[in-house]
Amino acid sequence: MDFSSKLLENAVNEVSRLPGIGKRTALRLVLHLLKQPTEHTKYLTEALSVLRNEVKSCKKCHNISDTILCEICANPNRHTEVVCVVEDIRDVMAIENTAQFKGLYHVLGGKISPIEGIGPQNLQIESLVEKVRNGEVKELIFALSSTMEGDTTNFYIYKQIEKYNITTSTIARGISVGDELEYADEVTLGRSIVNRIPFENSLKA
């Protein structure tokens, strides 16, 4: 791509680093911003830099939060002894949308993936095991996507906490397209949380 402006080229290069954005799309977005009032670019860059500088990870569940404890963990009406294990904030949002779950979450921050070099030590697994060890958790619900990485992660955690004698369950498999939680429709996802099955049963399937 030949640019007549170095400034334009730099902006396009930065935008095209985002996932799923090629050079052409980046150029379209940048040209769009140039046509808008200057404030729009200012609001966009400010929102991103404030987010980057001020966002926190909830001390208890590791969810993205504005405060030390996220709104869910700080809510006295939630059942603290039921913890749903998810990969990231998108899963929390999807499950919250169903309004079927009143427990807390534990956000792992990814899945075990040897190919991508992500091991258990790169995820928030130890803090989860610690919660179980402390007796804070009576039921753990595995809600990772049913991919090989999701299954590996579930099984790894299950092996770590098996001896503590708590209830473990998993949301029913075969949910919606692609098996990614974020794509499951609310009704299906809500139903699979209500009708969760004992984790041991999922191993035999």
* Distance of closest approach, residue 172 Cβ to Zn ion, in angstroms: 25
Task: Provide CB contacts within 8 A for 44, sequence distance 6+.
Answer: 33
Question: Which CB sits closer to Zn ion, 49 or 67?
Answer: 67
Nearest to 189 by CA among 199, 204, 201, 179: 179
H/E segment holding residue 198: strand 197-198
Q: How far is the CB of 71 from Zn ion (least distance, A)?
A: 8
Q: What is the DSSP letter of 1?
A: -
SS (H, E, C) 71-132: HHHHCCCCEEEEEEEECCHHHHHHHHHHCCCCEEEEECCCCCEHHHCECHHHCCCHHHHHHH
Given the complex with Zn ion, which of 105 and 199 has the nearer CB atom? 105
Nearer to Zn ion, 70 or 85 (CB): 70
| Residues near Zn ion (CB under 5 A) | 58, 60-61, 63, 70, 73
Query: Which one, of 95, 85, 196, lies nearest residue 150 by Cα?
Result: 85
**What tokens appear for 205 in the block?**
């399937």
Q: Enumerate residues 6+ apart whose C-beta is below 8 A from 45.
A: none
Least distance between Zn ion and beta carbon 200 (Å): 28
* Of 12 and 58, CB closest to Zn ion: 58
Q: Which is nearer to Zn ion, 30 or 125 (CB)?
A: 125
Q: Are 58 and 127 in contact (CB under 8 A)?
A: no
Q: How far is the CB of 166 from Zn ion (least distance, A)?
A: 20
Question: How is residue 69 written in tokens?
Answer: 């404890």
Between 59 and 133, whose beta carbon lies closer to Zn ion? 59
- Name the minimum Å distance from CB 149 to Zn ion: 23
Least distance in Å: CB of 86 to Zn ion? 12
